[in-house]
Structure 1
Amino acid sequence: MSNSIKNVLVTGASNGIGLGLTKKLLNEGAAVIAITRSGEIADFSHPNLTIIKGDISDEESIKIAAEAVKNLGIKLDCLVNNAGVGLDLGDEIPTAALMNATFATNTTGTVLFTEAFLDFVQEGGQIVFLSTAMALLRNLAPNAPAYRMSKAAINIYAVMLSQRLAAKNINVTPLHPGWVQTRMGGDTAPVTLDQSVDGIYKAITENTQTGKFWNIELNGVEEF
């Protein structure tokens, strides 16, 4: 791991990519703050792991989690916005319920969480958003309307944020983690959890292009 990557915060760290990435970062020598809804990670602990309860879809919960991180008195080298939902992946017709629930986490919650934690990211640090290539215009299809639109909005926010934070040399990266063998992706997905985590880790440690879309399947950036 780069010597500059010492303190990392990962949202949605209780399972799937979030948990896999947390373990990878810890194994590489980083200290990790894991945000989970329950405030715990089942059957896992590590001396360099701090677990904080937080639900990014709840504004009050975000404030409480931010205060807990503030009390730790550290600066983050990297903030990884991993938490997200895919509630309508098999649907074509948008509904109010699924649109509202999806955007509450994938867009509104992710944006508000990031804004609440910006002061903890040190100059020269980075912010990563797990997005999806499904949200790129050239890849659009009729299915998963709420999921695709919510992630497209995060891509836009990431580029806007990269412009805002350019003077602080904070790198902002929306990222496609692949179609991964997780609870959301399913057992038949073509990318294993380890492959996805390794690709995200590569982006964290090697990418220097702020505001660009990183695709782990390409091992680099691609156009929006």
Structure 2
Amino acid sequence: MNNSIKKVLVTGASNGIGLDLTKKLLAEGAEVIAITRSGKVADYIHPKLTVFQADISNAESINKVAQQIEAAGIRIDVLVNNAGVGLDLGDELPTADLMNATFATNTTGTVLFTEALLNSLNNGGQIVFLSTAMALLRNAAPNAPAYRMSKAAINMYAVMLSQRLAERKIRVTPLHPGWVQTRMGGDTAPVTIEKSVNGIFKAITENKQTGKFWNIELDGLEEY
């Protein structure tokens, strides 16, 4: 583990990419602060794992957990915004319910959570957003309107944030984790969770750029 990466916060750590990334980080020697809706990480216990309960689609819940983390004196080196939903991946027509629910987690909640944690993030640290190449304009397609647009908004926020935090030398990395064999991606997805997590870990430990889009399938940076 990079010596500057001692404590990592991971949202959506109860299953899928979030759970396996948590285990990978712990195996590499990092301390992990996990955020889950239940306040638990499956049945997994580790001496360097601390779990907080929060729903990032809820502003009150976000403020509460941010206050708990600050009150505990926890300082974070890396913030990984993994929590997200894909409620309309097979749809073409946007609906109010799916747009609102998707943006509440993928965009509004993720942005508000990030802002609430900035005071607990060390200078010289890193913020990672799990986005998707589906949100890049050149990859536009008629399906998954809420999902694509919510992640496109996060890509824009990541660039804006990278500029705001430049003086603190905090790197901001939006990334494409691949089409992964998770509950969201399905069993037929071409990328295993292990490959995706290894790619995310490489982005955390090796990427020195800020505001640039990382694609684990390309094993490096990609233009927006």
Give the TM-score category using the shorter length.
Answer: over 0.9
Q: What CA deviation, in whole Å up to 9, does each residue of 1:1-49 have, x standing for no partner?
A: 1011000000000000000100000000000000000101121110000
1:188 aligned residue: 188
Q: What CA deviation, in whole Å up to 9, does each residue of 1:155-186 have, x standing for no partner?
A: 00000000000000000000000000000000
* Divergent runs of 4+, >3 A: none
Alignment of 1:185-224 (within 5 A): 185-224=185-224
Alignment of 1:89-104 (within 5 A): 89-104=89-104
C-alpha distance in structure 1 between counterparts of 2:110 and 2:189, whole Å: 25
User: Secondary structure at the residue paired with 2:128?
Assistant: strand
1:143 aligned residue: 143
C-alpha distance in structure 2 between counterparts of 1:47 and 1:70, whole Å: 20
Asked if structure 1 preserves the Cα contact closer than 8 Å seen for 2:15 and 2:42, the reply is: no
Seq. identity, %: 77
Alignment of 1:9-20 (within 5 A): 9-20=9-20
1:114 aligned residue: 114
Q: Which amino acid aligns with 1:161?
A: L
Asked if structure 1 preserves the Cα contact closer than 8 Å seen for 2:35 and 2:54, the reply is: yes
Cα deviation for residue 72 of structure 1 reads 2.2
2:71 aligned residue: 71
| Structure 1 residue 161 corresponds to structure 2 residue 157 | no
1:4 aligned residue: 4
1:177 aligned residue: 177
Cα deviation for residue 71 of structure 1 reads 2.1
C-alpha distance in structure 2 between counterparts of 1:28 and 1:75, whole Å: 19
Q: Which amino acid aligns with 2:165?
A: L
C-alpha distance in structure 2 between counterparts of 1:55 and 1:74, whole Å: 19
User: Secondary structure at the residue paired with 1:61?
Assistant: helix
1:132 aligned residue: 132
C-alpha distance in structure 2 between counterparts of 1:127 and 1:72, whole Å: 21
User: Secondary structure at the residue paired with 1:18?
Assistant: helix
C-alpha distance in structure 2 between counterparts of 1:78 and 1:41, whole Å: 19
Segments of 5+ residues of structure 2 without an aligned counterpart are: none
Computed over aligned residues only, the root mean square deviation of the Cα atoms, in angstroms, reads 0.5
Q: Which amino acid aligns with 2:11?
A: T
| Structure 1 residue 53 corresponds to structure 2 residue 53 | yes
Q: How many residue pairs get matched? A: 224
Please give the TM-score of this superposition, normalised by the length of structure 2: 0.99
User: Secondary structure at the residue paired with 1:34?
Assistant: strand
Segments of 5+ residues of structure 1 without an aligned counterpart are: none
C-alpha distance in structure 1 between counterparts of 2:170 and 2:29, whole Å: 22
C-alpha distance in structure 2 between counterparts of 1:218 and 1:148, whole Å: 20
C-alpha distance in structure 2 between counterparts of 1:65 and 1:32, whole Å: 15
C-alpha distance in structure 2 between counterparts of 1:20 and 1:141, whole Å: 30
Cα deviation for residue 74 of structure 1 reads 2.4
C-alpha distance in structure 2 between counterparts of 1:135 and 1:42, whole Å: 30
C-alpha distance in structure 2 between counterparts of 1:22 and 1:168, whole Å: 26
User: Secondary structure at the residue paired with 1:161?
Assistant: helix
C-alpha distance in structure 2 between counterparts of 1:99 and 1:201, whole Å: 30
C-alpha distance in structure 2 between counterparts of 1:91 and 1:31, whole Å: 39
Q: What CA deviation, in whole Å up to 9, does each residue of 1:196-215 have, x standing for no partner?
A: 00000000000001000000
C-alpha distance in structure 1 between counterparts of 2:205 and 2:72, whole Å: 24
Cα deviation for residue 87 of structure 1 reads 0.1
User: Secondary structure at the residue paired with 1:178?
Assistant: coil
User: Secondary structure at the residue paired with 2:123?
Assistant: strand
